[in-house]
Every structure is written in C-alpha cells, then in structure tokens.
Amino acid sequence: MNEINKDLIDFKNKYLKKWNDFMIKRHGKKFARRCDECTNCFNQGYVIDNGIEYYCSKKCLNKHYSDKDFNKMYDEGKGDSYYTEWECEEDFQYYEDGTEIMEEWNENKNH
Ligand SMILES: [Zn+2]
C-alpha cells in the first residue's frame, strides 16, 4: 500500500466515528431491516424467502401470509422463511428514519 492510500484510509477511519455519530443524530438509531408492510425498522422479525420480504410483526406478516402459509414456508426450520433477531451491527442496514446505511461504512467496521 502506498503512502497516499494509507493516509487516506487513516483519514477515513478517523472520521468514520464522527460520521457515525452525526448520522445517528440526524437519522436515528441503526436497525437491521425495514418492514415491507408498515416501513418501520426493526431488529427482530420475519424473513420471507431468505430476504425477498421482511415483516416486523405477526400483524404485518398476516397481511400477506396466514399463519398456515407461513408455517408451510417455515417448514419446521427447513424452509427459507423464518423469524429471527439481528444482533450484529454489521448486519444493520437502516437508520431509524429509513435512510440506508452506506455499504462502505459496513466494510470499514472491520478495520
Ligand atoms: Zn411492520
């Protein structure tokens, strides 16, 4: 890695924390997913078809799928639809107001 790249990366990392604080102040806390029904952000909810759709609650899920449908899709854990909880901040994709968290931010979390 040459000097200029290193300086730029140092600069970027140094200001990511400030950027993060600024964005949270402006757009609210970070959340994992956004509900396709009510658009609320959430960290615990339903995943349909490995992420084609997301629903924050049973109420929102039931507007699209009955319990019977969902149980069939869930297939006792063998299906691609399930209820889950996201805990890892790297999986978080939205701020509270629905603004998407930039991909590059997520990459930089690891450095
Ligand atoms: Zn919802």
pLDDT(110) > 70: no
Range of the domain at 85: 3-108
CA dihedral over 82, 88, 93, 95, signed as positive or negative: positive
pLDDT(32) > 90: yes
Q: What pLDDT shows up at residue 47?
A: 98
SS3 33: strand
- Mean pLDDT throughout 6-19? 88
How much distance in Å is there from the Cα of 55 to the middle of ligand 1? Answer: 5
Number of separate domains in the chain:
1
Q: What pLDDT shows up at residue 83?
A: 98
Residue 81 near residue 45 (C-beta atoms within 8 A): no
How much distance in Å is there from the Cα of 9 to the middle of ligand 1? Answer: 38
